[in-house]
Amino acid sequence: MKIQGFLKDVGGAGRVTARRRSLFESASAAPEARDPIGELARALHPGKLELTVADVQDVSPTARKIRFTPKDGHLPVFQCGQYLSLDLQIGQTVTTRPYSICSAPYQARQAEPFVEITVRNGKSDGFAANYLYAGVKPGDVFTASLPFGQFYYEPLRDSRHIVGLAGGSGITPFYSMAQEIAAGRLDAELTVLYGSVTSADIILRAELEAVHSEKVHYVNVISGEKDYPGEKGFLTRELIARYAGPDSTFFVCGPLPMYKLVARELAALNVPPKRIRMEVFGAPKDVSRAEGYPAEKLGETYTITVVRGVQEDAVPARASEPVAAALERAGIPIPTRCRSGACGYCHSRLLSGEIFVPADGDGRRAADRELGFFHACSSYPLSDLKIKIPIL
């Protein structure tokens, strides 16, 4: 065979090597050390941030809005509906909690940037919320990371008409959205249907009323007050149908039991799955009610052997609590963010033993399930376990 003549053809290897070598020899010994795309990635996802509490404000008889400002002056871009993960040390327990950001994205990017969350007191699962509600004061410093989560308006997918179905402290992402729309920063329309038992339970009422406009509608739905002058009852299909447009996207955020109820109502209205976005925060209060849970195990306690590198520790664990919670109680930190089984930050490996993963909180990949990787925040021990977790 011949390409351009025998001699030239057979000299190819020598030629390309000489060419490369001469380019190397004549190149600068001071290469470009900047990585602008990496820098943008780090600005958008800066990792752990130090946040100072700037203000604490009552936004209902039982809820407080906490404003944080960044110590280094920079907060990343986020989208309405995303959450921050707050590091907490309460007694011996080292833990994190996810909180939907209730301030608007533009407020994180203005001259004096801040983010806000709202915490509610007095709920039985509110170990951390109670601590924050009671204990936080201006000047306190926390470590947090943001932004996380997929509970945001995606214009390539969602209808411009958003119906927010909220319960309890699930109102907070909609306050973020409402403010961003009111500020002309988000091109969408929002109708919030907010279910509460009594009007005293309504969080952020004055704040939401203040952003009521052409594009932001806000309706309280009260189930436990006979004389309430507005919408009474629950977030039923009839009520939803009255406020929904012909092609709305439904964003649902509230306590765990609410999701199943609302899903049933939306299904009855023939809302296609692509128009329903559900936020989920938290493990079930009572795992024994999850489908498939072996009820006889509920009162049991087990020992979890925790492998971190070459280190092994043994901690006691209740069958009724997620593996991550047992570790945290024993003072062994484990990386967590969403605490709902979704984000996978607590990705760990089960070396031996048996766990229960509620179907609602099972965010594992197929290969994870097959190979014993699991999400410790949403998995419950059914026997003594040996697990390997990341070193923090």
Q: Which is nearer to another protein, 123 or 347 (CB)?
A: 347
Q: Which is nearer to another protein, 111 or 310 (CB)?
A: 310
Q: Which is nearer to another protein, 45 or 212 (CB)?
A: 45
Rounded Cα distance, 51 and 49, in Å: 6
Q: Measured from the CB of residue 192, what is the shortest distance to another protein in angstroms?
A: 22
Q: Which is nearer to another protein, 195 or 341 (CB)?
A: 341
Mind giving me the DSSP string for 116-185? Answer: EEEEES--TT-HHHHHHHHH--TT-EEEEEEEE-S-S--TTTS-SEEEEEEEGGGGHHHHHHHHHHHTT-
Q: Which is nearer to another protein, 65 or 364 (CB)?
A: 364
Q: Hey, what are 286's tokens?
A: 């009572």
Mind giving me the DSSP string for 267-329? Answer: HHTT--GGGEEE---S--S-GGGSTT--GGGTT-EEEEEEEETTEEEEEEEETTS-HHHHHHH
Q: Which is nearer to another protein, 207 or 360 (CB)?
A: 360
Q: Hey, what are 362's tokens?
A: 């099972």
* Run of H or E residues at 242: helix 237-243
Q: Measured from the CB of residue 138, what is the shortest distance to another protein in angstroms?
A: 28
Q: Quick check: helix, strand or coil at residue 55?
A: strand
User: Which DSSP letter does residue 199 get?
Assistant: G
Q: Measured from the CB of residue 308, what is the shortest distance to another protein in angstroms?
A: 5
79: number of Cβ within 10 Å:
19
Q: Measured from the CB of residue 264, what is the shortest distance to another protein in angstroms?
A: 17
Q: Tokens 């209060």 belong to which residue?
A: 285
Q: Measured from the CB of residue 337, what is the shortest distance to another protein in angstroms?
A: 10
Rounded Cα distance, 68 and 99, in Å: 13
Q: Measured from the CB of residue 360, what is the shortest distance to another protein in angstroms?
A: 9
